[in-house]
């Protein structure tokens, strides 16, 4: 191993480059948020973090309807999570525990949902929501989102349930405990980490969603953060530092939770895709 | 694939054809009924309707009515130069995201595989792009790529390369979108590949080194065969996501300049909501879906061939 130091140096250099590429945009988001708009548009951006401008940033943020947006975003994300987890766990349980006709077909349909572009469903869902009176409603949006997150949740939960030995629920079956009871009180607590991963994926699928929200919600009062922030794109006079500050606030929970459950997400996604 | 224990649950065998046995056979369907009904109503019914729409002359003003026109929309598609641009840019974009995203992600995973001081925090930073919401990511990249005051141009100017129209020139728009996409996709690839690298037995690598193989040889003959199936899977995911991806492309360039970054999926939106031609938009969508299915099919064939080779 005569060239070990050289390899180590190259590796360190590579990691520095990667960290710069991966981290710079987030740093720049923070740096922009902590500039005042006059600097951004006239004298040029100050590249470091001017924490002294925090009060100014806060004052600007209050002028945006950010709390309203975050509240709507939370409702959409919460609804998407509740529906995805309820249906995802019964679907995952059935796929994990039963062998029945059409099981392979269901697997194929679930895989299909991951191939269908959202943009393809916008118009038919729009037409459907007009007739169902779900246009311009957060409920309609939740219903549209769940179609994409439910199969992912089911994949993750199924692969976690596959690892739970059947003996554990056998005694409960003999005691005539209904299956739904077994699922809720015996299986789900055992796979809590995977349940958390499925919850994070569904929650932030709803949290981040833009296309459906931008199409189905006309009322500004109902806008989630994604649509609210995107509405600044292409505007002539953007309160840039406030927008970046809001984007940072919007991103922070997603980053924190994804980092927390990263490994479980990978396990669920890849096993789902392998077996799909 | 199935564990032995779980098969004990399937009470559909012949000797169980008693009344309670028949009831038990229905249990699985009771479980899958609600989720399937849901997917049927909110996924597959709209999908079918959209495909049907591509055979009609439906317009946005009246989206629930349209007359059957056969394959006319597809004929229009084939005579529309934008269709060839879109098809071309979709394929180019997909190939490049797979090559660059999977390539960079795998390289990052290899660099991060061995423990070192501060690995956890560096790993967290490397995952930023994956975790940040699309709209937030687009906003900051739009600012970075901004013409007069963006930092990308400050850097190129400082390097003596002059100012570049990152998102507004035909030459640079697609590469700029690719940079943002790779920034988003490579972290996920890294995460998956790191998990795969942990399955490579260290003894085999060690034995290979003792036999005198250098680092590159160990990588090619031991590590690579172990991580190849995962790499193929993650390439499939990245490819399908690229064909599906709408938000960052639409928000960064809106498909421009002059349609040069308008992938099939972005084109659905533009045709439907700017030209109001729902029939034609659906035809674009159908081609996009077909492309994604084709990628999945190719992956499936590869997988089957590998399974055969391995069982020999």
The 10s digit of each residue's pLDDT in A180-199 is 888 888 888 888 888 998 99
The 10s digit of each residue's pLDDT in A111-156 is 888 888 888 898 889 888 988 889 989 999 999 999 999 998 998 8
Question: Nearest-CA neighbor of B257 among B127, B179, B169?
Answer: B169
Residues 219-278 of B with CB under 8 A from A: 230, 233-234, 236-237, 240, 243-244, 246-247, 251, 265-266, 268-269, 272, 278
Between chains, do A147 and B129 touch, taking CB under 8 Å as contact? no
Considering only residues B18 and B8, tell me which one the structure prediction assigns the higher pLDDT.
B18
Residue A73: pLDDT band by 50, 70, 90 thresholds? very high
Position A248 pLDDT exceeds 50: yes
Q: What is the pLDDT of residue B13?
A: 44
Which CATH superfamily includes the segment(s) A64-275? Answer: MetI-like (1.10.3720.10)
The yes or no reply on domain B81-311 and CATH 1.10.3720.10 is yes
> d(Cα B110, Cα B97) in Å, to the nearest integer?
19
Position B25 pLDDT exceeds 50: yes
Interface predicted TM-score (ipTM): 0.89
φ and ψ at residue B158, rounded to 5 degrees = -60, -35
* 3-state secondary structure at position A27: helix
Q: What is the pLDDT of residue B76?
A: 86
Q: Is B1 in the A-facing interface, judged by CB distances under 8 Å?
A: yes
Q: What is the mean pLDDT of residues A246-253?
A: 93
Q: How far is CA A48 from CA A242, B154, B155, B159, B160, in A?
A: 17, 15, 16, 20, 23
Q: What is the pLDDT of residue B189?
A: 93
Residue B2: pLDDT band by 50, 70, 90 thresholds? very low
Q: What is the pLDDT of residue B307?
A: 74
Residue B6: pLDDT band by 50, 70, 90 thresholds? very low
Q: Can you give the C-alpha Rg of chain B in angstroms?
A: 25
- Written as one string, the DSSP assignment of chain B is ---HHHHTT---SGGG-SHHHHHHHHHHHHHHHHHHHHHIIIIIHHHHHHHHHTTB--BTTSTT---B-TTHHHHHHHH-HHHHHHHHHHHHHHHHIIIIIIHHHHHHHHHHSS--TTHHHHHHHHTHHHHS-HHHHHHHHHHHT-TTT-HHHHHHHHTT-----TTTSHHHHHHHHHHHHHHHHHHHHHHHHHHHHTTS-HHHHHHHHHTT--HHHHIIIIIHHHHHHHHHHHHHHHHHHHHH--HHHHHHTTT-STTTT--HHHHHHHHHHTS-BHHHHHHHHHHHHHHHHHHHHHHHHHHHHHHHHHH-
* 3-state secondary structure at position A185: helix
Q: What is the pLDDT of residue B291?
A: 92
Residues 28-57 of B with CB under 8 A from A: 28-29, 31-32, 34-36, 38-39, 42-47, 49-50, 53
Between chains, do A230 and B138 touch, taking CB under 8 Å as contact? yes
Chain A residues whose beta carbon lies within 8 Å of the beta carbon of residue B27: 98, 179
Domains of chain B, residue spans? 4-53, 81-311
φ and ψ at residue A217, rounded to 5 degrees = -110, 115
- Yes or no: say if A216 and A118 are a contact pair by the CB < 8 Å rule: no
CA triplet A46, A48, A54: central angle to 5 degrees? 90
- Residue A177, sorted as left (phi over 0), alpha (psi -120 to 50) or beta, turns out to be beta
The structure tokens listed for A254 are 């997603």
Q: Can you give the C-alpha Rg of chain A in angstroms?
A: 23
């Amino acid at each position: 191993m005569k060239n070990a130091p050289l390899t180590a140096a190259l590796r360190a250099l590579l990691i520095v480059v990667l960290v710069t590429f991966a981290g710079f945009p987030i740093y720049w988001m923070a740096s922009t948020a902590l500039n005042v708009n006059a600097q951004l548009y006239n004298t040029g951006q100050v590249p470091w973090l001017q924490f002294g401008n925090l009060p100014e940033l806060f004052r600007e943020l209050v002028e945006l309807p950010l709390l309203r947006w975050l509240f709507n975003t939370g409702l959409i994300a919460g609804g998407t999570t509740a529906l995805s987890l309820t249906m995802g766990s019964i679907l995952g349980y059935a796929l994990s525990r039963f062998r029945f006709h059409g099981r392979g077909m269901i697997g194929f349909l679930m895989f299909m949902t991951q191939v269908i572009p959202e943009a393809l469903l916008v118009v038919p869902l729009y037409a459907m929501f007009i007739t169902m009176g779900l246009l311009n409603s957060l409920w309609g949006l939740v219903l549209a989102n769940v179609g994409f997150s439910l199969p992912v949740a089911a994949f993750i939960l199924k692969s976690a349930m596959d690892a739970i030995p059947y003996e554990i629920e056998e005694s409960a079956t003999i005691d005539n405990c209904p299956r739904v009871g077994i699922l809720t009180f015996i299986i789900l607590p055992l796979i809590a980490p995977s349940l958390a991963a499925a919850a994070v994926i569904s929650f932030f699928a709803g949290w981040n969603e833009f296309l459906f929200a931008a199409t189905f919600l006309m009322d500004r009062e109902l806008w989630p953060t994604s649509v609210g922030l995107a509405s600044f794109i292409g505007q002539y006079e953007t309160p840039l530092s406030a927008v970046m500050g809001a984007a940072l606030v919007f991103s922070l929970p997603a980053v924190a939770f994804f980092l927390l459950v990263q490994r479980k997400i990978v396990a669920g996604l890849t096993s789902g895709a392998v077996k799909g | 694939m199935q564990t032995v224990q779980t098969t004990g649950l399937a009470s559909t065998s012949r000797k169980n054809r008693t009344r309670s046995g028949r009831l038990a056979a229905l249990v699985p369907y009771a479980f899958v009924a609600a989720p399937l009904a849901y997917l049927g109503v909110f996924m597959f019914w709209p999908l079918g309707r959209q495909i049907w729409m591509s055979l009609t002359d439906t317009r946005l003003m009246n989206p629930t009515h349209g007359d059957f026109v056969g394959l006319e929309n597809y004929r229009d598609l084939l005579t529309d130069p934008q269709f060839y641009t879109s098809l071309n840019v979709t394929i180019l974009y997909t190939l490049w995201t797979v090559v660059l995203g999977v390539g960079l992600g795998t390289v990052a995973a290899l660099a991060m595989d061995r423990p070192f001081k501060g690995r956890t925090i560096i790993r967290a930073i490397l995952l930023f792009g994956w975790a940040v919401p699309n709209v937030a990511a687009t906003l900051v990249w739009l600012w970075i790529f901004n013409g007069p005051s963006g930092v990308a141009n400050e850097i190129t100017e400082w390097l003596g390369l002059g100012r570049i129209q990152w998102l507004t020139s035909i030459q640079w728009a697609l590469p700029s979108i690719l940079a943002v996409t790779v920034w988003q996709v490579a972290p996920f690839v890294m995460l998956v590949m790191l998990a795969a690298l942990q399955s490579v037995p260290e003894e085999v690598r060690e034995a290979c080194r003792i036999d005198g193989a250098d680092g590159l040889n160990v990588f090619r003959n031991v590590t690579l065969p172990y991580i190849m199936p995962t790499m193929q899977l993650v390439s499939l995911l990245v490819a399908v996501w690229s064909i599906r991806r709408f938000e960052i492309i639409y928000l960064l360039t809106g498909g421009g300049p002059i349609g040069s970054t308008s992938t099939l999926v972005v084109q659905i939106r533009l045709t439907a909501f700017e030209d109001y031609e729902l029939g034609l938009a659906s035809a674009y969508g159908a081609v996009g879906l077909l492309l994604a299915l084709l990628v999945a099919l190719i992956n499936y064939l590869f997988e089957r061939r590998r399974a055969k080779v391995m069982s020999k």
